[in-house]
Amino acid sequence: MVGIVSVRWNGYDSKYQVESTNMKKWLIVQAYWYFDEITGEFHYRVEQPSRGLRETGQFEVINVHIFHPFFPHLAETADLLILHLLPDAEITAVIKHRRQKGLPTVFEMADNFLEVGPWVADEDAHRNPIIRQNFLYHAALCDALQLNTTRLQGIFGSINDHILLYENQMDVLAPVQKKTAPFTIGWGGSIGHRTDLIRIKHALKDFLLAHDDVHFAYMGQEELFRELFNDFPSEKTSVTPAGPVNAYYDFLKNLHVGIAPLQDTGFNYCRSDIKHLEYAAAGAASLLSKAPAYLEHLNQNGSAFFFDSPDEFKQKLESLYLHREQIQPAVEATQRYIKSRRWWLNQAELKKEHYLQLIKTEPGVNELPEFPVPQSLMTHVRLGIHHMDAQNFDQSLHYFNQAIELLPAYHQAHYWKRELLLQWGKNSEVIKSLESYQANAIYQPLAIQQLCAAVKTEMPDQYEQLFAQIDDPLLQYSLEPERFQPEDLLAVNPYHYLSIRQLAAKILQERKASPDYQTCLEWGHKMDPENTDIDECLKRYFP
């Protein structure tokens, strides 16, 4: 049973009730950090699966951003909580709190975040070893780890004993129809494919120049098109700005051939094959790299066409141009594959079976009212964090205060405001704020940690008593790292990056290493390949 949440913002009272007298469904909550909810990743991993689960008739599903004011309550009480690659501090408390209540939590990884490419800036969170550590730790803490390719399972499968593997699915299929002139080759995607496109751009240009009735259609970031394809004949190209998934599907319907170049990189190794399925679903043939993502389809005769080099890429385009009768059978073969093995509703039934094995509660929800999404309120928190990171403390405080004024019981805004005040050195204000505000169960451990940090300088005689109230050694470590040996922390969290780094330095100093720590050091290297101590330890003691 889930209960009622009452909130108020912009002078508007809202009671969100997720309780029914006719109780017969389980509540699944999917929590995420995406602010751009029109992306393909959000569609395939969050939005589409939620619709599929509802279609089974067994579940009500709420997709919620972690800044949403309802998130703490929903995370505490959902029959099943699915966390989409969340590293945030409160997530540890969420998982532990739910486990104490006998409520299951699933963690999802959809990409190999340990091997992001050059499109990800050096300062991006996905390159931060502390963020990476939290991804791994949360995945290990949860009742199951959810992945979307077997190659991701090969890398992360050892983290959790319970692996759920759900490939990306299609939920649209266009009738296979004869395409009109000109012969159109197309590609759509993100800047993460920049180096993939560079590899075939000259071969593609040569092919365009060789034929009068050939066209290249591009959908994505316009600056990437200008960088890579600005020297293509303008009359032979068209650019569609990046947009929502439905606009992308409409774009694909005009293609004869969709191309999918993939370089041999660690990130690409774990990619999904969804681009091939998208092309076929829109009636286009696929010209695919002989990359791990697509190798399953290499053995399905006639369902796709493959290339290994730019020269072979051009040769295959020539063949498809001259023998267009190859296209329809390939599309039909792939559409049959989609219907039999990659149709979204079929996977929803599989998920239902797996999720019901995890859920131990009785169904307690019948029908949910419309779920309010206060975007402006959440944006205040986002801007507050942005300005805090930029050391614009006055501006940051302004946004947090506005959010709290609009919704006094906004737990996330209170938490981040206290983080700001601690960074700002306003410890007495942290203490004062906690005298008049009671954090909920999820934010309570973090509130005690923040109070402890503030009390250390303002009221040192109370510090040890408060410190003892923190029951998580990882939170204690954040306050008093010198009190812990790396081995102690790694027994709690084997991915704790700072402890791995400290352990590596200790091993090099003492010139001996226990085999018990090989796995920790290997994960440390994956989280931060540039750490010389970890690298030296592995080379010297675990070659």
Residue 236 three-state SS: helix
What's the whole-model pTM score? 0.93
What pLDDT band is residue 149 in, cutting at 50, 70 and 90? very high
Whether the per-residue pLDDT at 9 is higher than 50: the answer is no
Residue 239 is assigned to a structural domain of this protein: yes
Give the pLDDT of residue 370: 78
* Shared domain check, 462 and 493: no
Gap between the Cα atoms of 183 and 205, Å rounded? 14
Whether the per-residue pLDDT at 395 is higher than 80: the answer is yes
Give tens-digit pLDDT for 476-528: 999 999 999 999 999 999 999 999 999 999 999 999 999 999 999 999 999 99
Facing residues of 239 across strands? 218
Gap between the Cα atoms of 180 and 282, Å rounded? 14
Give the CATH number for residue 457: 1.25.40.10
The domain boundary residue, chosen from 482, 507, 533: 482
Residues 531 and 501 sit within 8 Å (Cβ to Cβ): yes
Residue 473 is assigned to a structural domain of this protein: yes
Residues 28 and 60 sit within 8 Å (Cβ to Cβ): yes
* Shared domain check, 163 and 89: yes
Contacts with 525 (C-beta within 8 Å, 6 or more apart), sequence order: 531, 534, 535, 538
Whether the per-residue pLDDT at 12 is higher than 60: the answer is no
Residue 82 is assigned to a structural domain of this protein: yes
* Shared domain check, 293 and 196: yes
* Shared domain check, 82 and 61: yes
Give the CATH number for residue 215: 3.40.50.2000
* Shared domain check, 64 and 10: yes
* Shared domain check, 104 and 65: yes
* Shared domain check, 350 and 253: no
Residues 42 and 32 sit within 8 Å (Cβ to Cβ): yes
Residue 370 is assigned to a structural domain of this protein: no
Q: Look-up: residue for tokens 């090099």?
A: 508
* Shared domain check, 164 and 130: yes
Gap between the Cα atoms of 71 and 442, Å rounded? 10
Biggest distance spanned by C-alpha atoms of the chain:
84
Could you give the number of structural domains in the chain?
Answer: 4
* Shared domain check, 105 and 42: yes
Residue 132 is assigned to a structural domain of this protein: yes
Residue 467 is assigned to a structural domain of this protein: yes
Give the pLDDT of residue 40: 87
* Shared domain check, 401 and 511: no
Contacts with 454 (C-beta within 8 Å, 6 or more apart), sequence order: 421, 422, 427, 428, 430, 431
Residue 310 three-state SS: helix
Residue 26 three-state SS: strand
* Shared domain check, 422 and 283: no
Residue 176 is assigned to a structural domain of this protein: no
Range of the domain at 248: 183-341
* Shared domain check, 319 and 430: no
Residue 174 is assigned to a structural domain of this protein: no
Give the pLDDT of residue 187: 98
